[in-house]
Amino acid sequence: MKLTELFAKDTRNLSFEVFPNKKPENLESVKGKTARIAELKPAFMSVTYGAGGGTSQFTLEIAKNIEQNCNVPVLAHLTGISSTKEIVAQRIEELKAAGIQNVMALRGDLTPEMEGKDRTNWPYKHAIDLIRELKEKGDFCIGSGCYPEVHPEAANMIEDIRHLKEKVDAGCDFLTTQLFYDNDIFYSFLYKIREAGISVPLIPGIMPVTNTKHMERSIQMSGCYIPKYFKAMMERFGNNDAAMKQAGIAYATEQIIELYANGIRTVHVYSMNNPDVAEKIMN
């Protein structure tokens, strides 16, 4: 099923994200965890793709298993950075052969070695290059990423939204946000993109915080705003893993309920291969 069909329905939807194993010997374990998440019958599941390409064959393998054996629609991620035209062409053919209809087209994060390098001859400088190619070579429902608190490389929000509009005009069917911990930031971004003429579905991405170390890393990478209530929660429960996990699940669930209450129909959860967290949120 194409996700655009799901987004058109007047239903409340929850989706979960998983990531592929790095080592081949961990494939079965990740497949097991993703199958347990699939048993919760989310509206769809997404599988990330390592920008360096090292885990790319596992993305397809895991996505195929979810789609074909777990009967849950899947969204396979694909990144362009550090990829060649040949690899991307091969991935597109593999996705088609596996019957995967939904693809998340991303640029991928710059690795420290890529910073400051001349990018003139890179075949995929931005996500839009991948969106155009997917559009040309297949009949996919295409998603892409967006940043309610501005992408760290963008000069400002206006420029970032201008590039976002270009991605949508090139054929992107929906957008999923970077994580955020303050729903007002999401609503403000929603108004701004609608004003800029972007009318595709905007799916909020919610990250349940289940331990402090993981939290610190994700804040550092995304640069997102941390509300006072959230800070207090981390200070109070940060040294107690079990308590922090419960509090993080409760906070994410509250964010989701508030989004639903304000008319948002689909919420995407960065569930990080954690069936236990996914199950508690789903319940």
Which residues does the annotation mark as catalytic?
A: 17
At closest approach, how far in Å is the CB of 71 from ligand FAD? 23
Residue number with CB closer to ligand FAD (127 or 206): 127
Q: Which is nearer to ligand FAD, 127 or 200 (CB)?
A: 127
Query: Would you say 51 and 111 are in contact if contact means Cβ atoms under 8 Å apart?
Result: yes
For the CB of residue 55, give the shortest distance to ligand FAD in the complex, in Å. Answer: 9
Q: Contact positions toward ligand FAD, by CB under 6 A?
A: 48-49, 51, 77, 79, 106-109, 126-128, 144-145, 151, 153-154, 159-160, 163, 166-167, 176, 178, 205
Cα dihedral: 176, 179, 184, 186 (round 10):
-20
In the block, which residue shows the tokens 């955020």?
180
Listed residue (51, 16, 80) closest to 279, CA to CA:
16
Question: Is 42 or 145 the residue whose CB approaches ligand FAD more closely?
Answer: 145
Rounded to the nearest 10 degrees, the angle between the axes of helix 27-38 and helix 275-282 is: 10
Which CB sits closer to ligand FAD, 80 or 248? 80
Cβ at position 195, least distance to ligand FAD in Å: 17
Residue 167 CB, shortest distance to ligand FAD, in Å, is: 6
Query: Distance (Å, rounded) from C-alpha 102 to C-alpha 96?
Result: 10
Which residue number, 143 or 248, has a Cβ lying nearer to ligand FAD? 143
Answer for the pair 241, 249: CB distance below 8 angstroms, yes or no: no
User: Minimum distance between the CB of residue 103 and ligand FAD, rounded to whole angstroms?
Assistant: 11
Please report, for residues 74, 154, 211, 225, 226, the alpha-carbon distance to residue 51 in angstroms, rounded to integers and kept in the order given: 19, 19, 25, 25, 27
